[in-house]
Structure formats: C-alpha cells, structure tokens
Amino acid sequence: MIPITPLALVEKSLSGLPLSDAEALAVLNNADWDVMDILYAAYQVRKATWGKQVSIHIINNAQNGYCPEDCKYCVQAKTSTADIESYTLKEESEIMAEAKSAYESGAHRYCMVFSGRGPSKNRVEKLAGYIQKIKAQYPIEVCVSSGLLDAEGAKTLKAAGLDRLNHNLNTSESHYKNICTTHTYQDRLDTLQAGKSAGLGLCSGMILGMGESHADILNVARSLAAVDAVSIPINFLIPVEGAVLKSEQVLTPEHCLRVLCLFRFLNPKAEIRAAAGRELHLRQLQVLALYPANSLFMQGYLNTQGDSAFQTLQMIHDAGFDIASDQQLDKLVEKFRAVSSETEKSVPSRADQVVLKQLNDLRPARTPLGAR
C-alpha cells in the first residue's frame, strides 16, 4: 500500500472527497509527518479559497456574566467564581459606538455576544433593532452569539439583516456531558439547524484542551462539515482562575497547529479562525496559524486580554498576508503603532499569563481611552 502523505490530502480536500479516519487522524498523530509539511499542505487548501486574506473579528460582550448555565469552561457560568465584570445588556448607543470603532479598526465582522441560556422573544426584538441600525450605518458584517435560539427567533434576526449566527458545538457529542449539564449537545445542534433553516450563515467551533481525545476532535470537525458551518473558530482553553475547567491537558503549539490543519482539510472552504487562547498556547508559533487559518480575533476575547490590535495587524503584515477590509493594512498598522506606543506600559505580556479584561476593555465606548 502506498503510504499517505500530507500532500496527498490536498487534492482530496479540494475536490470535496471525504478523508478516511486514518488519513484525518494522521494529521493529528502521525509522528513521521513533520508539522511544516502538514502546514504546507493545509496552506494549499486555504489559498484555493482565501488566497492570502485574513478576516479580523472583534468581539463585543453585549451582556456579560449572570448566566444560569454551567458550561465548565466559561467564566460567566453560574458555577464559576472568576472575578469578571458582570453587566446586563448594553444600551444601543454603546453598541453603536463599539460597532463604529470595530469598523474603523479594520474588522470585517462585528460579533455581539450575549451571556445566558438564550434570548426571550422581547430580547430577540431588541437584538433585531440593534442589527438593523448597525447594518444601516456601517458596511460591516454582523454576527450574533445569543445562546439557544428557536426557528422563529432565527427568522426575526435574519429579517433584521443578521449575516451569521454563532453557536459553538465546543466538543463532541460523547464528551459534551462532561463539560455541561444544563443543556445538551442536541440543543446546540437544534440551534444551528434553526439558523440554517432561516438562511443564516453558521459560525460554530470547538474549544481544545477540555480533556478531549483525537477522536472527539475529528468528530467535531466532521459534524461542522455536516452542518455546512461557514465559519469555524478553534479556541484553546484559557485557564482562568475561578473557572471550573482550567488545565485538563497540555496543549502544545504543534498540537494546536495540527488541529487547525485538520479542520482546514475537512472544511476546505470554511473560514477557520485561530480563536481565543492563540497567544497563550501557540506562543512564538502563532504566526504559523495563518497558514491553515484565515481568520483571527483582535483585541482579546470574551473576558480575557489577547494581543493588541497593533500586535495582531503587524503580525499579519509581517507575514505577507492582507486583511479583508476596506481599510488599508499598512495604514492601520501605523495608526495602531502610535496608540500602542502611548499605552505600551499598561499592556501586559500575553504569552505567559492570563489577564482578565477590565471594565474599560469590555465597555470602551464609555471610557475616554476607548473613545480614542
């Protein structure tokens, strides 16, 4: 039998042929496959759809904390004792100011995230109003992460102009009960189905580092291909003090890169995002994530800091990639270089520590620093 090689996966992936389990698992665990060879192969697949473009996402915690669910990885869960800044739904003016800032920072998509099990009918109407206003004022795509959503809610948000619905599978069906007991994997799949039926693009991904096996990772990658997820954020568990799950397993940079490549091979046309925790777990190798992935978050995550806008944009620029934006990358790098030199002393090193966001990070539109 001819041995499989990373390059042999490129043609299969690009022609939409399914990879066998043996081929897919080899991406994760074949020690004879050099990670650079896997990255090169995954890059061929990434380039076919996305060229050298990177899409930047900026997250806005539209509501933070106060969640009755018990997702063990989440610092907003009722079971978490993490010292986060909790607040109820932001006012429309605050959300509009943050959408404007995201657009002017080069973001291709603005993500509004709401803590909680899922929105009431009234909350859906309110969200629909926010979406309509943002879409009328800025040429930016809008994504909402609002928890469990039914078919009617999904239709209302679609009619308001929503582009994408985020709802992560997070892990495999068989591992799900180990990370959450207040809702099920099937609840999550139902929400994705409601979004898909309403015509919304689906954004759904996983969190690595929660004790999952290679088979669990493969299962999630295949499940997301089956629901036609157009956007797949791969998060790397950030060990926050007070969260129930902290460090279930060591995530090496090589493992993280191999996982990104696997998702790329199995979801050749999807937007694959090196999401929360990339700085912490990929460390000096994080630029290599751009070869399988074509998307990054900028300015941190839900409740933790990440690389600054300057660090992220400069990394993309230095590696010879460009951003999907009507803003120019080199101009943005210069703009944020100036801001960064003013605030440098207050920017902690992200590579070896977890830093929680403060209120002025979460609600920048309300503070003089954020209003810059």
Q: How far is CA 145 from the centre of its chain?
A: 11
Minimum Å distance from CB 17 to ligand SF4? 35
Minimum Å distance from CB 147 to ligand SF4? 5
Residues within the interface to ligand SF4 (CB under 6 A):
67, 69, 71, 74, 76-77, 115-117, 147
Minimum Å distance from CB 180 to ligand SF4? 7
Which of 67/202 has CB closer to ligand SF4? 67
Which of 47/117 has CB closer to ligand SF4? 117
Give the whole-angstrom CA distance, residue 185 versus residue 176: 6
User: Helix %, strand %, coil % for the chain, to 5?
Assistant: 45, 15, 40
Minimum Å distance from CB 82 to ligand SF4? 11
Minimum Å distance from CB 212 to ligand SF4? 16
Which of 173/322 has CB closer to ligand SF4? 173
Beta pairing, strands 231-236 & 206-208: parallel
Residue with tokens 């926010």: 130
For 221, counting Cβ atoms within 10 Å of its Cβ (0-12 exposed, 13-18 middle, 19+ buried), the class is buried
Which of 23/212 has CB closer to ligand SF4? 212
Tell me how many degrees the CA angle 168-114-324 measures, rounded to the nearest 5: 65
Minimum Å distance from CB 9 to ligand SF4? 33
DSSP letter at 52? T
Minimum Å distance from CB 183 to ligand SF4? 7
DSSP letter at 27? H
Which of 28/179 has CB closer to ligand SF4? 179
Which of 218/245 has CB closer to ligand SF4? 245
Distance between terminal CA atoms of the chain?
62
> Contact 180/72 with Cβ under 8 angstroms?
yes
Minimum Å distance from CB 220 to ligand SF4? 16
Q: Where are the beta strands (DSSP E) in the chain?
A: 53-63, 109-114, 141-145, 164-166, 201-203, 206-208, 231-236, 271-274, 295-297, 322-323
Which of 29/81 has CB closer to ligand SF4? 81
Three state DSSP letters for 176-211 = HCCCCCCCCHHHHHHHHHHHHHCCCEEECCEEECCC
Give the whole-angstrom CA distance, residue 236 versus residue 57: 16
Minimum Å distance from CB 68 to ligand SF4? 7
Which tokens go with 71? 């997702």
Which of 69/361 has CB closer to ligand SF4? 69
Which of 67/234 has CB closer to ligand SF4? 67
Neighbours of 243 (CB within 10 A): 23
